[in-house]
Amino acid sequence: MSHKINFDEPIPDLVERLKKEHRQFELKLAELETIATVNNQSMGILEELSEPILRHAVEEEAIIMRVIMHKAREQAEESIKIAQEHNWIMEFFKHKLPQMTTTMPQQQAKQELTQFIQNLRTHFSEEEEIMFPLAIKASSLQRQ
Ligand SMILES: [Fe+2]
Ligand SMILES: [Fe+2]
């Protein structure tokens, strides 16, 4: 990924930006849901989403999880699990997506996509309810 990570951005600002990105991703997810079958239009939307979502996940791991692990490690357990969900997000874009209009039966592709959308929404709300507030709290603590 070619984008530099800005470690100088204050955590509360980064969290606001990541939340805004969730809202932008959500608009695309809602658009995907209006398409009845997995077709070129839905593949186009997914391909557009792929890079921004992966970049977003990298920032969460490199900055959000970093501050949590440095300053709030004893409360990190749930946030670690949430960050690990990035594995299936990557897996979807790298491996499932290329199969969806080729080897995968149409009905299965639709099911996989519906499941992915649901899981992603859950992931975003877990981050906003658990991981982001903990990162803000951690960033306000004095370094020991
Ligand atoms: Fe995430
Ligand atoms: Fe996120």
CA of 8 to the centre of ligand 2 (A): 19
- Going from the C-alpha of 25 to that of each of 18, 68, 135, the distances in angstroms are 10, 24, 21
pLDDT of amino acid 143: 57
Asked whether residue 141 carries a pLDDT value surpassing 80, the answer given is: yes
Query: Minimum-distance ligand to the CA of 119?
Result: 1
Asked whether residue 1 carries a pLDDT value surpassing 70, the answer given is: no
What burial class does residue 1 get, using C-beta atoms within 10 Å of its C-beta: 0-12 exposed, 13-18 middle, 19+ buried? Answer: exposed
pLDDT of amino acid 104: 94
CA of 82 to the centre of ligand 1 (A): 7
Report percent pLDDT > 90 for the chain: 89
Assess contact for 60 and 11: CB atoms under 8 A. Answer: no
Which DSSP state fits 104?
A: S
Protein residues near ligand 2, an ion, with CB under 5 A: 127
Assess contact for 25 and 4: CB atoms under 8 A. Answer: no
Q: How many CA atoms within 13 Å lie on the side-chain side of 99?
A: 14
Query: Minimum-distance ligand to the CA of 125?
Result: 2
Query: Minimum-distance ligand to the CA of 124?
Result: 2
Per residue in 37-78, pLDDT (tens digit) is 999 999 999 999 999 999 999 999 999 999 999 999 999 999
Q: What's the mean pLDDT when you consider all of the chain?
A: 94
Assess contact for 38 and 109: CB atoms under 8 A. Answer: yes
Query: Minimum-distance ligand to the CA of 57?
Result: 1
Token representation of residue 143 = 């370094």
| Whole-angstrom distance, CA of residue 30 vs CA of residue 101 | 20
